[in-house]
């Protein structure tokens, strides 16, 4: 692989490129934001599995496990985050895959974000979050996960 801008921190578990599943649960049909984030993470040297729209929590967790990702990024605009994200976390737990780190982005009110973090979501990005911030956070989360493995 060619040398990236910062080769070391782009690597996840076992020295491979960080793998991220980007999915959009819920029924709303806009995935512009999710695609922008997917491309930014790719440009930061990550392998992004783009699962697309209208994914159920079961789809997402199944895909995350098959693809052996380090991180799951959920993009939600529909307001269904209070139902869908806890369901993803619960499924990961039930399948003994809670080592996969979940972050979320979209329109999520502060009090909900705090609640989701208590449940185990490791980062929540609002609509104003910069791509640099998202990339750095994703790298940090993957590095922490790699250190735990």
Partner 1 sequence: MRAPRAAARRPAPPGATGSKSGLGPVAKRIQAGDRRALARLISDVEAGRPEARSVLRELYPRTGRAPIIGVTGPLGVGKSSLINELIQLLRSKGKKVGVIAVDPSSPFSGGAVLGDRIRIERDPDDTGVFFRSMASRGHAGGVSQSTRDAIRLLEAFGMDVVIVETVGSGQVDVEIHQIATTRVVVVVPHLGDEVQTLKAGLFEIADVFVVNKSELPGAERAAKDLRELASLSVARDGWTPRVVPTSVVERRGTEDLWQAILDHEEALHQSGAGERARRERAEQELRELLLERIERMAREELADDTAWTSLLDGVVARETDPYTAADRAFHELRRRL
Q: Which residues sit at the interface with partner 1, rule CB under 8 A?
A: 1-2, 4-5, 10, 13-17, 19, 38-39, 41-52, 56, 58-59, 61-63, 65-68, 95-97
Sequence-separated contacts (24+) of 14-19 with Cβ below 8 Å: 14/146, 14/149, 17/45, 17/46, 17/47, 18/45, 18/46, 18/47, 18/70, 18/71, 18/138, 18/139, 18/142, 19/46, 19/47, 19/48, 19/49, 19/67, 19/68, 19/69, 19/70, 19/71
Complex with partner 1: residue 19 or 81, whichever CB lies closer: 19
Count other Cβ atoms within 10 Å, centred on residue 3: 7
Least distance to partner 1 from the beta carbon of 61, Å?
8
Least distance to partner 1 from the beta carbon of 77, Å?
18
Least distance to partner 1 from the beta carbon of 96, Å?
8
Least distance to partner 1 from the beta carbon of 138, Å?
11
Complex with partner 1: residue 96 or 118, whichever CB lies closer: 96
Complex with partner 1: residue 117 or 133, whichever CB lies closer: 133
| Of 65, 57, 15, 19, residue with least CA distance to 38 | 19
Is residue 100 within 8 Å of residue 64, measured between CB atoms?
yes
Least distance to partner 1 from the beta carbon of 107, Å?
23
Complex with partner 1: residue 25 or 108, whichever CB lies closer: 25
Complex with partner 1: residue 6 or 117, whichever CB lies closer: 6
């Amino acid at each position: 692989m060619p040398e990236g801008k910062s080769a070391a921190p782009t690597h996840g578990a076992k020295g491979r490129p960080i793998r991220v599943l980007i999915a959009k649960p819920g029924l709303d049909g806009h995935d512009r934001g999710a695609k922008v984030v997917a491309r930014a993470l790719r440009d930061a040297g990550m392998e992004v599995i783009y699962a697309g729209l209208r994914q159920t929590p079961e789809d997402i967790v199944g895909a995350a496990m098959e693809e052996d990702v380090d991180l799951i990024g959920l993009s939600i605009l529909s307001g269904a985050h209070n139902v869908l994200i806890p369901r993803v976390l619960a499924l990961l737990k039930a399948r003994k895959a809670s080592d996969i780190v979940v972050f979320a982005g979209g329109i999520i009110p502060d009090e909900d974000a705090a609640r989701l973090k208590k449940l185990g979501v490791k980062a929540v990005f609002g609509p104003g979050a910069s791509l640099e911030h998202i990339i750095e956070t994703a790298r940090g989360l993957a590095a922490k996960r790699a250190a735990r493995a």
